[in-house]
Structure 1
């Protein structure tokens, strides 16, 4: 395996990476960095969440941005505030030993005036959610005329959150940019349309591991049970390893709220995130979960976008999702950075059909676990 130094990465960036425990490049990092470090090109990268994509595109981006030029040269689009802040933080840490490159993160649901004030400072890289970026451009608060690299991170998530029109608008505005790098765990039709419309036909394509890119370190398990048995099966699972932390997924906010109350009444340290929460409430829940004051987070699919928390041992599908890409994204919250994890589905007889479909579509094996009858 090549080292970052052998890939040609600046020794001071290597030092920053090593201090973060990023010593040997992952497959996506190795393949992407080789392509992007020096050449102008479009790139399409397909890899699951947790494979180290931020360093894969972040390292070439930092190499190619000139810290002496006080203009926005790099733009990273991502689905959520959480992911945006995490990317900005990573880039800051990568450049700990280099000349300072300034990154600003902008997102909806927060006061725009403060973000406008921050953008008046010298800024080389902007990390943005698509809607907020368009607002800032319309207010003439951000100048994108010097951008030479545009990155779409978790493109499929941005699409499923309804950002398709905004992405088309931004990419049309930046059509002359010579480097468009798109990363996605799955490739639904909407992403293929964006690729056909905005990405060069000669773009490099890099796909990591398998058909629908499901992390090989995840054990996929299921328990067949009736809906009224799911709570007691979940409690059995939580009691089997009282230190393990993870996320439990529901399809609707009503189901998430109900399950959260049921688990709280069973003395589980739990809280929920769903679409009805104000940003301030959501931040509070996420902070408590990150600081390990909560053991379990109950979440809906959209609310969980961009969650990245170290060391989650499990994901539970309390209700199966409708689409296989949702299953991929949910499961990708565990087994990150080379660790192992469990993805447990609690399915009734009707949901077994969906489970069999996921098994085939995603090319994964599910093992059945038998719950103790109460």
Structure 2
């Protein structure tokens, strides 16, 4: 099947071929012959990114050019076709595509009209005359009210992303615009889903419309793989980081529910070293354009966006769409996911949700006919392995070219590194590149994932037995403490706690953190002093319990419970020490300890 066989004229086929399109896509095969035949109203349902612009754009341009030829080939200056779309970005994208397709149709002029740009410039262009207007509803109504835009000669109206326009509240605006178009016009409605409002428009403004469905009604793109992870709310960001790290070549959009959450997640990603930025309604048009330009040229890997801000975005080659929580309506899930896997490519849609959202997942599966597969978050070892092999593949793909400067330096570099054998050199290069990531995943907080019954479980629980029975390094003693990751106890906080409680400087070795307790190594000559000193302190009314790890053994849980909070309310002071003496000695550890124990005291877990 070719565009010529569909009836597309030679000038348009030539322009299409220059854009690199050789064969029509399914929606184009289904729609173009109908629109090049007898004039009709038409409803086409197809997933976003499947070639709908060309499906309506090629016949629209051909019909406009034909009508001009019938009238002698001289443009009248009045618009013959109108394309309505929900956002500025989509408006510009459609106008650019139509301009490319009409490259060899000099009599057809196209103008995008949208908010955020000079309305005076748009008025001047309209007065000179255009044949096709691509518009957002709000700006078009403004131009109509000023008498600058006339729809008296319009014979074709296209509503692109019609479901999005209705979701964004343009229903009244559409009615205003359609009421100004001649009754004998033809309405073409293109949508990814078929909500009730679309049927309402069809009943009110269309005459016996032809309905074309590519795939199943409301069905998502078959080239998208759908996964979901169920984690506790407080671990959603950590889960997001794991997902981003597991896909080194990720180029995707992260959808959030609110503007505030969008900005917060983007800021966290930027602080953690990711190429990310935010797109939401509080940004000015100039800021939106700047962010989108960076994303389109891949200076950003991750765009964090709200549903409204991302509507109409047309970015090629997205690999992932990540739902940082499920949307309120199922149509939004379909639109979000449809941003990836365009033009026949593969894509991945990932939802990070909590256990109460599993019912909504089932509704999405049922209505979109998509299979959403439950996944377990990748471990730190799996992520590091994926990153290391990705670097190895990048090294393999480097094209070696002659470079005089490099050639001159190579002998000296070889002499500099000749003492390092091949395997050690490889290890040093990998550590140089990934030391920070390796260290992060060795000490990262355990993420609580839900089991099949929705019960949360920390991913460090399975390692308890091995860590309890681990053997300390020579000259070191392995100790137990009744604080773990769930108490926001991390290596730096544990070392701070030891330094606050134990006089002098203690040598600390390996630290193993578990959700409810931890093990750490100290110099064997200092072990008894560490146990004695630390066990005489309390944190927020809860006594610190430190003991030899081999004494705790498999009874660690019982030993912890014996360290339950006492009824004393003199928090953070060694037992038996008077307030005035404690103040003179410069104590007060507990006030500083709140930095890792920020929750209210009533919410502390007691073992």
> What TM-score, normalized to structure 2?
0.60
| RMSD value, Cα | 1.2
Alignment match, 1:98: 105
Q: Which whole-Å CA distance do the structure 2 matches of 1:93 and 1:343 have between them? A: 31
2:368 is equivalent to residue 369 of structure 1:
no
Query: Does the CA contact (< 8 Å) of 2:246 and 2:378 recur in 1?
Result: no
Which contiguous aligned blocks of 4+ residues in structure 1 show a shift greater than 6 angstroms?
none
Alignment match, 1:337: 343
Q: Which runs of 5+ in 2 are unaligned?
A: 69-73, 380-445, 447-607
Query: Does the CA contact (< 8 Å) of 2:85 and 2:161 recur in 1?
Result: yes
SS in 1 for 2:349: strand
The alpha carbon displacement at 1:100 in A equals 4.2
Q: Which runs of 5+ in 1 are unaligned?
A: none
SS in 1 for 2:309: coil
Q: Which whole-Å CA distance do the structure 2 matches of 1:177 and 1:343 have between them? A: 43
Alignment match, 1:143: 150
SS in 2 for 1:292: coil
Q: Aligned ranges for residues 262-277 of structure 1 at < 5 Å?
A: 262-277=268-283
2:92 is equivalent to residue 85 of structure 1:
yes
The alpha carbon displacement at 1:121 in A equals 2.2
330-339 vs 203-212, greater mean Cα deviation: 203-212
Query: Does the CA contact (< 8 Å) of 1:150 and 1:177 recur in 2?
Result: no
Q: Which whole-Å CA distance do the structure 2 matches of 1:112 and 1:99 have between them? A: 25
Higher relative contact order (CA 8 A, sep 6+): 1
- Deviations along 1:10-58, one digit per CA (max 9) or x if unpaired, are 1121111112122111111111111001311110111110110000000
2:72 is equivalent to residue 73 of structure 1:
no
102-111 vs 301-310, greater mean Cα deviation: 102-111
Alignment match, 1:176: 183
SS in 2 for 1:24: coil
Query: Does the CA contact (< 8 Å) of 2:365 and 2:372 recur in 1?
Result: yes
Change in Cα spacing, 1:372 to 1:29, as seen in structure 2 (3 Å) is closer
- Deviations along 1:304-341, one digit per CA (max 9) or x if unpaired, are 10011010000000111010100000000000011000
Alignment match, 2:139: 132
Higher-Rg structure is 2
Query: Does the CA contact (< 8 Å) of 1:72 and 1:143 recur in 2?
Result: yes
The alpha carbon displacement at 1:111 in A equals 2.6
Alignment match, 1:187: 194
Query: Does the CA contact (< 8 Å) of 1:47 and 1:184 recur in 2?
Result: yes
17-26 vs 158-167, greater mean Cα deviation: 17-26
Q: Select the residue among 327, 333, 343 that pairs with 2:333.
A: 327
Q: Aligned ranges for residues 195-234 of structure 1 at < 5 Å?
A: 195-200=202-207, 202-234=208-240
Alignment match, 1:235: 241
Q: Aligned ranges for residues 32-51 of structure 1 at < 5 Å?
A: 32-51=31-50
Q: Which whole-Å CA distance do the structure 1 matches of 2:315 and 2:308 have between them? A: 17
SS in 2 for 1:167: helix
Alignment match, 2:173: 166
Q: Select the residue among 255, 259, 262 that pairs with 1:256.
A: 262
The alpha carbon displacement at 1:3 in A equals 1.1
Q: Aligned ranges for residues 277-316 of structure 1 at < 5 Å?
A: 277-316=283-322
- Deviations along 1:103-122, one digit per CA (max 9) or x if unpaired, are 00001222311211221223
> What TM-score, normalized to structure 1?
0.97
The alpha carbon displacement at 1:99 in A equals 3.0
Query: Does the CA contact (< 8 Å) of 1:150 and 1:179 recur in 2?
Result: yes
Query: Does the CA contact (< 8 Å) of 2:154 and 2:182 recur in 1?
Result: no
The alpha carbon displacement at 1:175 in A equals 4.6
Q: Which whole-Å CA distance do the structure 2 matches of 1:120 and 1:354 have between them? A: 51
Query: Does the CA contact (< 8 Å) of 1:26 and 1:51 recur in 2?
Result: yes
Q: Which whole-Å CA distance do the structure 1 matches of 2:184 and 2:94 have between them? A: 21
Query: Does the CA contact (< 8 Å) of 2:27 and 2:51 recur in 1?
Result: yes
- Deviations along 1:206-252, one digit per CA (max 9) or x if unpaired, are 01101312000000000111111111111111112222200000011
Q: Which whole-Å CA distance do the structure 1 matches of 2:45 and 2:349 have between them? A: 21
Q: Which whole-Å CA distance do the structure 2 matches of 1:13 and 1:242 have between them? A: 40
134-143 vs 97-106, greater mean Cα deviation: 97-106
The alpha carbon displacement at 1:278 in A equals 1.4
Q: Aligned ranges for residues 17-32 of structure 1 at < 5 Å?
A: 17-32=16-31
- Deviations along 1:326-373, one digit per CA (max 9) or x if unpaired, are 000000000001100000000111111211111112111111110146
SS in 2 for 1:343: strand
Query: Does the CA contact (< 8 Å) of 2:219 and 2:370 recur in 1?
Result: no
